[in-house]
Amino acid sequence: MIVGLPKEIKDNEYRVGLTPAGVRALHDAGHTVVVEKSAGEGSGFEDSLYQRAGATIIDTADEVWAKADMIVKVKEPIAPEYPRMREGQLLFTYLHLAPDRELTKQLVERKVTGIAYETITDRRGTLPLLTPMSEVAGRMAIQVGAHYLEKMSGGRGILLGGVPGVPAARVVIIGGGVVGTNAAKIAVGMGAHVTIIDNNLDRLRELDDIFLSKISTLASSAYMIHDAISEADLIVGAVLVPGAAGPKLITQKMLKDVPNGAVVVDVAVDQGGCIETTHPTTHSNPTYYVEGVLHYCVANMPGAVPRTSTFALTNATLPYALKLANKGFYEAISTDHGLKEGVNTFGGYCTYEAVASAQGIPFTPLDQLISSSTGAAV
């Protein structure tokens, strides 16, 4: 198989889909890897490292997309990349299709096989390719929030951990999953007063044990969320519904009671966000205000720490990339149900129900399409 590694072109996105070690693994397995010139420089990987690993360096993204049977990326394609996608091509990357009607339309119309990192599952039912970036984003949320709480950055002028005789900042985290847990680790470590809100009581018990009662936990309800954020200095949105648009748990009306200069970091923004007033921003223009509350809603937060993020991501994605390359698409998904869960578009159809439901478009089960094209169920 020919595997293509284009350079990411989203605003200030410096990650890359494969490390030189990943390229070496694919090359040693007998595959051809074509890498766009300078694709890895943002993560500290010079072209020479990829060449030594067995890759061929190609000058343009157009050539990489044209040659490759499978494209390995980090972020979803954006408008300049749409014309490069072609029928039958495997696209292995984060897609986050639920809030993105145009990308979904392009993938369907161009009959691209879109395999989304964020909906692949493992035997435990967890999301192994979403976890590493959720860990990074959760930890970054507190770093970013602490920065924007500074007066010169537009915040209330509060030190997250306080000092003796002065209260620490109040951090409210909506969601106790991977993002929320990692955010809490950093916030607790910095000395903040931390509250985690979740609708899963068993998870709240686990978090209480993990943090040895150094955090407060609340069962989620509109009343409890409103009450908690009304005294918050930093609010972290960390809610995930796999493959689907996030629920709007904090409304604009609620924000009227949040202190002026408080900070919102909605990590869930790439799936539509869990706060009514959030919309995606970029690293170049990351913040805006609503009701006097500073919003930081960058959809590719881990792109700011590309070297850490690229290593963490490819540690998780490489085994799946190898499986797709070694076995081919049909055999790979027939032997790995969790990988099959990652297929969001195929053959001109939307094959992930949560995406179809979020957009109000037809959903077609992948098994139905595979059996009709191969004559065998998968």
Same domain, 250 and 154: yes
Q: Is residue 121 part of a domain?
A: no
Q: What number of other Cβ atoms are within 10 A of residue 223's Cβ?
A: 8
CATH number at residue 272: 3.40.50.720
Is residue 31 part of the annotated active site? The answer reads no
Same domain, 77 and 106: yes
Same domain, 288 and 309: no
pLDDT of residue 374: 56
pLDDT of residue 259: 97
Same domain, 141 and 227: yes
Q: What number of other Cβ atoms are within 10 A of residue 124's Cβ?
A: 8
Of 100, 198, 266, 270, catalytic: 270
Q: Is residue 339 part of a domain?
A: yes
Query: Domain total for the chain?
Result: 2
**Domain endpoint, select from 304, 321, 347:** 304
pLDDT of residue 357: 94
Q: What is the mean pLDDT of the chain?
A: 95
Is residue 270 part of the annotated active site? The answer reads yes
Q: Is residue 129 part of a domain?
A: no
pLDDT of residue 373: 63
Whose structure tokens read 């709240």?
Answer: 204
Q: Is residue 120 part of a domain?
A: no
Of 96, 100, 193, 266, catalytic: 96
Same domain, 241 and 328: no
Q: Is residue 125 part of a domain?
A: no
Residues of the chain falling short of pLDDT 50: 377
pLDDT of residue 372: 67
Give pTM, 2 decimals. Answer: 0.89
Q: Rounded to whole angstroms, how far apart are CA atoms 1 and 69? A: 6
Identify the domain containing residue 268 by its residue range.
Answer: 135-304
Q: Is residue 116 part of a domain?
A: no
Same domain, 230 and 311: no
Dihedral of the CA atoms 357, 358, 359, 360 (nearest 10)? Answer: 40
pLDDT of residue 26: 98
